[in-house]
Amino acid sequence: MTDHRAARSADRTEAIMRATLDLALEAGYAKLSIEAVATRAGVGKHTIYRRWPSKGMLFLDAVLSMNTEDLVHRDTGDIVADTREVMIKATELLTGPPWAPLYRALLGEAQHDPKVAAGHKERFIQRQSDDFLRRLQTAQEQGQIASDFDLELAMDLLSGALYYRFLCTQEPITRDYIDRVLNAAFTGMAPRP
């Protein structure tokens, strides 16, 4: 049966990604080596090189195999509340254990490897942005966002503040901070008469 062959192959792939995440959590991404992954997964190095072209792409697949189905914007009619909900969930997921060091290492690797950067953008950022943009459009049509406001820029402002904290200042992102970001982005810096 071909099913058996495919199933065996999928099992191996999953075992390799599992071993990758385990080792990365134990010793850090810097210490991660193909040899160690192969040994941990009970697999020959060829079996890894046959599936992934580099350590970065393997790590990308491993990290993105996590469940992100619940990072979807609901539509309760309140754009601020719905956005806040997803921002909190995303922050807790990506900057809390166990994913914080993994996601941080992934973004770090993306700065060194363009293929990892492209994969992350296409398979994670893009996916979240599309969903977010759809929700923003609905809100704009309902008059909850200024009709001439650039929605792509809204995403950059909101996401940017969180990523800036995560990647540059590396300070904790609290719920209070998220509230302040939302409030600031909606009210704007300009003085109100």
**For tokens 């090189």, what's the residue?**
49
Q: Does 153 bind its own copies (CB under 8 A)?
A: yes
* Per-residue contact string for residues 53-92; x = within reach of DNA by CB under 7 A: -xx-------------------------------------
Q: What are phi and psi of 182, to 5 degrees?
A: -60, -45
> What, of its own copies, DNA, none, does residue 147 touch, CB below 5 to 8 Å by kind?
its own copies
Q: How far is the CB of 53 from DNA (least distance, A)?
A: 8
Q: Which of residues 30-59 bind DNA (CB under 7 A)?
A: 31, 33-36, 42-47, 49-50, 54-55
Two tokens at 146? 């200024």
Two tokens at 187? 């009210």
- Side chain identity at residue 148, one-letter code: D
Two tokens at 154? 């809204």
Q: How far is the CB of 106 from DNA (least distance, A)?
A: 17
Query: What CA–CA distance (Å, rounded) separates 181 from 161?
Result: 7
Query: What CA–CA distance (Å, rounded) separates 105 from 165?
Result: 15
Two tokens at 60? 């990308």
Q: Does 133 bind DNA (CB under 7 A)?
A: no
Query: What CA–CA distance (Å, rounded) separates 76 from 74?
Result: 6
Question: Contacting its own copies (CB under 8 A), which of 2, 3, 176, 189?
Answer: 189
- 117 with 57: CB under 8 angstroms? no
Query: What CA–CA distance (Å, rounded) separates 56 from 72?
Result: 27
Nearer Cβ to DNA (54/159): 54
* Residue partners of 165: CB distance under 8 A and separation at least 6: 171, 173, 177
Q: Does 46 bind its own copies (CB under 8 A)?
A: no
The one segment of 13-21, 38-46, 67-75, 105-113 that binds its own copies by CB under 8 A:
105-113
User: Would you mind telling me the total number of residues written for the chain in this entry?
Assistant: 193
Q: Does 1 bind DNA (CB under 7 A)?
A: yes
- Residue ranges that bind its own copies, judged by CB under 8 A: 28-30, 104-105, 107-113, 117, 120-121, 125, 143-147, 149-150, 153-154, 156-157, 159-165, 167-170, 180-181, 184-192
Binding site for DNA (CB under 7 A): 1-2, 4-5, 8-9, 12, 31, 33-36, 42-47, 49-50, 54-55
